[in-house]
A and B are shown apart, each in its own frame.
Chain A
Amino acid sequence: MKTRSWLSLAGGLCLATGCATAPKPPELIAYETLRHDPAVPEAMKRAPDLVSASEKLGNKATDEWSSNDLDESRRDALQAQIRLKTALALLEQERAKNRLQAIGAEQAKASDELGQLTQELSALKVQADLRQKLADARKSADDEKSRLSTQMAADQQKLQQASELMAVQEKLSSARLALSTADTVDAKKYAAPDYGAAEDLIRKAEQEMKAGSLAGASASLEVAKDHAQKAMAIAKPLYEQTAQTAENRLRDDALVREAQSLSGVDVRIDSQGPLRRLIIGASNLFPKGQATKPIEGKLVVLDPVAALINKYPTYPIQVIGHTDNRGRVAELVALSQTRAQAVFEALVARGVDAKRLMVSGQGPNEPLVSNRTAADRAKNNRVEIVFLYH
């Protein structure tokens, strides 16, 4: 009995072992995994034959595995996998082709859009370039304008400075001319303060010009010119007076020399303060006594005197008659006056301008010598032709 139980158990185990399902082949597992790919339904639409064949093979492989026909199951599972993979590859191809078509359309659309945008951009860039060129040109023009304006301002400033400098130089020349003019009248001597001030101011102006202070130089030169002109005004009459005096002195000296060379007359010089008198005295022109007519032939001594008077036409001339003291004074004065008038007429007859001559009679009032002797009285009876000068 015991032995029979053990045999039954062993027989059962053998039956169980023999009837148990073998492990699923990896090919079948891989197929089943692939079968659950979400793309399989779509692959079914794309390649129904392949998918159906795959399913059939898969089912067959499953059955074969269930019946422990593992080699067959593995082979069929491989075939099922291959067909399903092929179907999936075809699906991928279709998807790729569809995507390529879609991309082609999108590409064409995008290319069109890009073309339009490129054209628009190109036009805008042309416009922008033109604007930029315009802006650049305007900026360049503005810069040039600004530069020219600055240059013009600088030129104007230079011109103004040059003009000011020229004006100052003109003033300097004018001041120097005024000073030189003042030199002609020896203003340095006759108007030393103003002349010195003018010189100092001209030097100061020159220094100011070197330092660039044209305004100061201009003002200095104006004052310098004023001083120079003032010095000129002050010095001129003095200079002229001095010059005239010197000339007069020379002329006076020449007159005296020539007068002293005359014959038949007495020449002497008399000073009464600043007034000097060249006296040419002619005696013995009239007979003794009260005669008023000159002696014939005696008047020839008046010829060189008349020539001398005419040679020196600027001197005022007095014709003065004198007598001795014998007789009444009034009568003697009248007599001397008459005799002076006779000489006056003789001189006029010899070409002397009557307007230059002043006739007077002094009578016995100005004797040359005493009237004691006849010879002395003869000397006192005379007519004097007097050149008046300073």
Chain B
Amino acid sequence: MIRWLPRRLGWIRVPSFFLFITLGGSAAWSPLALADEEDDLQRQIEAQKASVADLARLDTQKAGAEDIVRLRSWLDEAWGLRAKHEYDSVREVLDRCMAQAELIRQTITATNLKTQVAQKEAQLKQVRDQIAQAKKDIESTKIQISSLERVTP
């Protein structure tokens, strides 16, 4: 690693060289790296916001309404933190937002399934009511037939 260094530099100058390289690289790369991270976080936040809109549209029964409000407030918080360049906090909030979005998604799915269950239960009840009614009708028809048989043997 050190072989390609200039021979004229003495061993004393090697740390200075690395220090120079490090400081120079940092000075050159740091603004670029920060700019990429900010853009990335912004894209994530915007993607989350778009997904929140989709979730709100899917939540026809308003089962996750409170969670969506909370999610939006957190995304706003993340947006604010991003503006303050508190990227670690933004990431932490975005993680929570992703988990919250997943929670909302599962809640909506569960609610929809429960709604389907309720509908199916209602349909089943309707069929059972029809069965009960049909049994009653059969009994009454049998009685009617019996009485008619007495009249018309």
Query: A residues within 8 Å of B by Cβ?
Result: 75, 78-79, 82-83, 85-86, 89-90, 92-93, 96-97, 99-100, 103-104, 106-107, 110-111, 113-114, 117-118, 120-121, 124-125, 127-128, 131-132, 134-135, 138
Contact = CB atoms under 8 A, between A and B. Distances in A.
A78 B96 contact: yes
Contacts of A134: 148, 152
Nearest to A113: B131
Given A124-B145, A128-B144, A89 B109 contact: yes
Nearest to A47: B106
B interface, size bucket: 35 or more
Question: Considering the complex of A and B, which 10 residue pairs feature the smallest CB-CB distances, nearest first?
Answer: A96-B113, A131-B148, A89-B106, A117-B134, A92-B110, A103-B120, A124-B141, A82-B99, A110-B127, A86-B103
Contacts of A86: 99, 102-103, 106
Interface of B: 92, 95-96, 99-100, 102-103, 106-107, 109-110, 113-114, 116-117, 120-121, 123-124, 127-128, 130-131, 134-135, 137-138, 141-142, 144-145, 148-149, 151-152
B113 A92 contact: yes
B148 A128 contact: yes
Contact of A85 (B107, B124, B130, B138): B107
B127 A120 contact: no
Nearest to B64: A89
A106 B109 CA distance: 23
Given A100-B117, A128-B144, A128-B148, A107 B127 contact: yes
A92 B114 CA distance: 8
A193 B103 CA distance: 134
A107 B92 contact: no
Given A100-B113, A135-B148, A75 B92 contact: yes
Contact of A114 (B95, B106, B121, B130): B130
B103 A117 contact: no
6 contacts: A75-B92, A86-B106, A90-B110, A117-B131, A128-B148, A132-B148
A131 B147 CA distance: 10
Given A85-B107, A89-B106, A89-B107, 19 more contacts: A78-B96, A82-B96, A82-B102, A86-B102, A86-B106, A89-B110, A92-B110, A92-B113, A93-B106, A100-B117, A103-B124, A110-B131, A111-B127, A114-B134, A121-B134, A124-B138, A127-B145, A128-B144, A134-B148
A120 B131 CA distance: 12
Nearest to A96: B113
Contacts, number: 101
B138 A121 contact: yes
Contact of B135 (A78, A96, A117): A117
B121 A103 contact: yes
B103 A100 contact: no
B87 to A, nearest CB: 16
Nearest to B125: A110
Contacts of A120: 134, 138
Contacts of B148: 128, 131-132, 134-135
B120 A118 contact: no
A110 B128 contact: yes
A143 to B, nearest CB: 14
A89 B99 CA distance: 13
B146 to A, nearest CB: 10
A83 B102 CA distance: 9
Contact of A106 (B92, B99, B100, B124): B124
Contacts of A96: 110, 113-114, 116-117
Nearest to B135: A117
Contacts of B107: 85, 89
Contacts of B96: 75, 78-79, 82
A124 B110 contact: no
Contacts of B113: 92-93, 96-97, 100
A194 B92 CA distance: 147
